[in-house]
Structure 1
């Protein structure tokens, strides 16, 4: 892992104290911008952007062209640190869940934008839920946003009201004190964080589900722009992910209701596989796909989307 030199104490204290005269601090409304390989890209201020995961060299080049020097991801997936380095940027990996931004991570987010080179790009997978909430925390602490502007930003970014914990944590957020920020060690801003096995497994499920969405959009056949995708195999792999999830101690600790949902999701993914591999049954694929989607929504609503507080 690449090491980045510590900032001298006087400069660090100045950064912790707030914007300098040379750093624009006026409140700015978010505005959408476009770049190849990046979904839902917005500029939130002179020093802050938000959006989806950069896909491919073009996306990282575009971020560098926009002046970005530090990329902050709150996604569970491991970031492409090598691609960032190729374009003169570094990553900070601070994963959060859909149930809100924990205080510890919120303080680390603010420490990152106070102590590392900007401008900053904050992202999750699609740039709609976790990323915008993390960016809102940064904007409240460093750009003078009030809670109403932060809430409007989440709505503009497309953050689903189903994720009540994300809205609640932004509404309750108060900027950290200088003492809180000073207590955050450099090791708390890793380029690539270790994530729990359950989180890593759910990342795999999400990625497989994205492939099945592409299959659905192609009429439940191999998408022309993804000839590598075999629809029945994708559904089978989704079922396997659910089966492996159920074997994890973290999944068992969530209780019988969670395990029942996983078992049902596995059965419905296998039914989708059967519909996709039999031409005579292909007409049943949309209903099977919808059932599989409802399984995800039911699990998210009960176990992922609400604030633990």
Structure 2
């Protein structure tokens, strides 16, 4: 049963969506919010950006949860932050809220086809917990400035990377002060102090101006694919390290890295192997290398299936997941011995 506060939060969100539709022509209309004319300069303060995020008092607000969505905050008419949408009910809810563009900053490939059934466009810009690099800032800023609003911005849980990307949108699109944007990360989404890089990107990072994004060539890819084997291997390596770290804990969450989820990281790993198999470099490479990538992809697929079963309550699947990961490690070791320099 929903609490009175949760019901009130849901009412405010629905009213906000209705107002947005009335102002801009309804859920099927297309509008682009007027971007902020100038990006505010980087903040100057003593201490950490996380600490500074407490200096701006925000009104209390509870997250919308349900229908396959978690940690959802309607930050403005144009920007909504939350978790990865799970299932048809989640995308139906986003469409009901008037969302037109969904931005995923998670490493896993998004459910583009399912979103499309509800008239939602996906843009996939994976970012890391350490911060948002300059190229990613350009892609995000251009997306906010040039695609149809409202935007729904998500990572996996909707607590760290997604809120940081939404904060960038709040600055470059809504024109809010950087202090307010990082305050929303901390006070609403509860972005962890461990991810100071995400806070400092918004607080003190160079955010691109409108002329810079207008001149930047970007196709708004629905599924991010690494442009080169090196880029894919970086993504693969990060996901592999996360999976290995969680395997050593028998797939239990690591309190030092609260947003890492074994199943999500395994799905990111599988997607990276799939991307590698589609690269011309791999296709033209040795048969052995293609075989190792293929075997690793298959092992990652088995690993993902077992971790999904574990999440659904099959506790014996945890052991089977360890076996699948052991097979994947053996494939990686064979490939590295032959090709890594």
TM-score of the superposition, structure 1-length normalised? 0.63
Aligned CA distance change for structure 1 residues 242 and 130 (closer, same or farther; 3 Å): farther
Measure, in 1, the Cα distance between the counterparts of 2:331 and 2:71: 32
Mapped contact 1:31–1:44 kept (Cα < 8 A): no
Greater shift in the superposed pair: 149-158 or 135-144 = 149-158
8 Å contact kept, 2:139–2:218:
no
1:161 and 1:105 mapped to 2: Cα distance? 22
The correspondence for 1:167, drawn from 186, 199, 206, is 199
Q: Distance in 1 between matches of 2:311 and 2:136?
A: 41
Q: What is the count of residue pairs matched by the alignment? A: 228
Match of 2:114 among 79, 83, 89: 83
Q: Secondary structure at the match of 1:34?
A: strand
The answer to whether structure 1 residue 128 and structure 2 residue 163 are counterparts is: no
Per the alignment, residue 233 of structure 1 pairs with 320
Change (3 A) 1:79 1:148: same
How far residue 72 of structure 1 moved from its aligned partner, in angstroms, is: 0.5
Aligned to 1:299: none
Distance in 2 (CA, whole Å) between partners of 1:248 and 1:45 is 48
Contact kept, 8 Å, 1:72 with 1:122, in 2: the verdict is yes
> Which of 210, 213, 219 is matched with 1:178 structurally?
210
Q: 1:63 to 1:200 in 2, by over 3 A?
A: farther
Distance 1:248 1:143, change over 3 A: farther
Aligned-pair distance for 1:238?
4.2
Secondary structure at 2:80's aligned position in 1? Answer: strand
Task: Note closer, same or farther for the CA distance 1:88–1:205 as it changes in structure 2 (3 Å cut).
Answer: farther
What SS class does the counterpart of residue 71 from structure 2 fall into? coil
Shift of 1:183: 1.4
Contact map agreement 2:167 2:202 (CA 8 A) in 1: yes
Gap runs ≥5 in structure 2: 1-30, 39-57, 227-231, 254-261, 263-308
SS in 1 for 2:149: coil
In the alignment, what sits opposite 1:112? 143
Is the 1:201–1:241 contact (alpha carbons within 8 Å) kept by the matching residues of 2?
A: no
CA distance in 2, matches of 1:230, 1:100: 34
Match of 2:168 among 124, 133, 137: 137
1:97 counterpart residue number: 128
**In the alignment, does 2:67 pair up with 1:36?**
yes
Mapped contact 1:147–1:170 kept (Cα < 8 A): yes
Task: Give the conservation status (yes or no) of the 8 Å contact 2:310–2:318.
Answer: no
SS in 2 for 1:179: helix
Question: Are the counterparts in 2 of residues 92 and 191 from structure 1 also a CA contact under 8 Å?
Answer: yes
Shift of 1:58: 0.9
Task: Give the stretch that moved more between structures: 67-76 or 108-117.
Answer: 108-117
Question: Contact 1:31–1:43 at 8 Å: present in 2 too?
Answer: no
- The verdict on how the C-alpha distance between 1:124 and 1:207 changes in structure 2, with shifts beyond 3 A counting, is farther
Which of residues 41, 47, 50 is equivalent to 2:78? 47
